Amino acid sequence: MKRLAQITLAAAVVAMAVTPALAQQRQRPGGRFGGFGGGTLGLLTQKSVQDELKLSDEQVTQVKELQEKQRGNRADFQGLSREEIQKKMAERRKAENEAVAKILKPEQLKRVKQIALQQPGAIGNPEVAKALKITDEQKGQIREIQMKAFEEMRGLGRDEEARTKRQELMKKTNEKVLGVLTDEQKTKLKEMQGPKFTGKIEARQGGRRNRQNQN
């Protein structure tokens, strides 16, 4: 359990030093955001998270309506430059967060943010990097580790063997990233993550849903 917790910590930090190219790929409209569909809204569509937060039927309906609205906005990114896409993405995330905050109670919003920080590769947030006081040197080290892993993953296929190799590579990458953090930074991140979320998250891979046990 201790080792699994360490791997989760490292996975969460990987996204902090992601290169612009990788960031653009991950944020491409219609593509996959993280592993669960993107941000707190993506998590709120998960039954396990809804149960954890004790969402009412009305709140669940509001979440579905917001998700459908966001899907309909994907066409807004067509024909835009990288800079324009990044600006629109920032505006969209801000509007989405504001909408989510109106749907949830304060304690629900706090908890879903904690759960989001526990998801692998879900942090790409400058505020988190600032809170952990990630140095430029650390960002460079993490970026180098991640780019090497990304290059290895590019050569893998999409069959079961490739997925197994990809998981093994991610595990090793996470362990390397964890080694970049100081003990103080690890402690701070764990505090920000709150109590361990033990529910299941359905991740979309290759257009299919794949159940991930967070235990």
Predicted confidence (pLDDT) per residue in 33-88, tens digit:
333 335 789 999 999 999 999 999 999 999 999 999 887 666 677 788 888 888 88
Predicted confidence (pLDDT) per residue in 87-132, tens digit:
888 888 899 999 999 999 999 999 999 998 887 654 556 777 888 8
In sequence order, which residues have a C-beta less than 8 Å from that of residue 37 and are 6 or more positions away? Answer: 43, 45, 204
Count the domains in the chain.
1
Which domain range does residue 86 map to? Answer: 2-213
Q: How far apart are CA 145 and CA 211, in angstroms?
A: 27
Prediction pTM value: 0.69
